[in-house]
């Protein structure tokens, strides 16, 4: 079966995010005040799997083995 997954990888809460700080400042220059700002990487994938459960496991495997670094990242998987 073909599955579509959306994987989001973002920095763990409390991790310093220098890019987000810079973006927040740039928004401020444009008149937008943000109390907080987080950025994340989103991966949209299509792949074959035997079942929904299998597809979830495959996507989580991708995160654990490559897409996320467990020291600094949290990730979430949404299957369509």
Partner 1 sequence: MLMKIAILRFGGSNCDLDVQKALNNLGVHAELVWYKEVLEGFDGAIIPGGFSYGDYLRAGAIAARTKIMQSVQEMAADGKPVLGICNGAQILSESNLVPGTFTLNQYPKFICKWVKLLKIGRSPFTSLSSEVVKLPIAHKEGRYVVPPRLLKELYENDQVVFKYVDDKGCPTSAANPNGSQDNIAAISNLEKNVLAMMPHPERASEKRLGSLDGNAVFESMIRYIKSL
Question: Which positions touch partner 1 (CB under 8 A)?
Answer: 15-16, 18-19, 22, 65-67, 69, 71-72
> Which of 18/31 has CB closer to partner 1?
18
**What minimum distance in Å lies between the beta carbon of 70 and partner 1?**
9
* Smallest distance from partner 1 to CB 24, Å: 12
Closest CA to 79 of 25, 15, 5: 5
* Side-chain half-sphere exposure of 39, counting CA atoms within 13 A: 10
C-beta of 65: minimal distance to partner 1 in Å?
Answer: 7
**Cβ distance to partner 1 smaller for residue 9 or 49:** 9
Asked if residues 54 and 18 have their Cβ atoms less than 8 Å apart, the reply is no
Helix, strand, coil shares of the chain, percent, nearest 5, are 35, 30, 30
């Amino acid at each position: 079966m073909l599955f579509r997954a959306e994987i989001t990888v973002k920095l763990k809460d409390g991790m310093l995010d220098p890019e987000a700080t810079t973006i927040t400042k740039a928004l401020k220059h444009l008149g937008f005040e943000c109390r907080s700002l987080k950025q994340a990487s989103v991966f949209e994938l299509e792949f074959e799997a035997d079942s929904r459960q299998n597809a979830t496991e495959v996507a989580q495997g991708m995160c654990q083995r490559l897409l996320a670094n467990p020291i600094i990242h949290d990730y979430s998987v949404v299957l369509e």
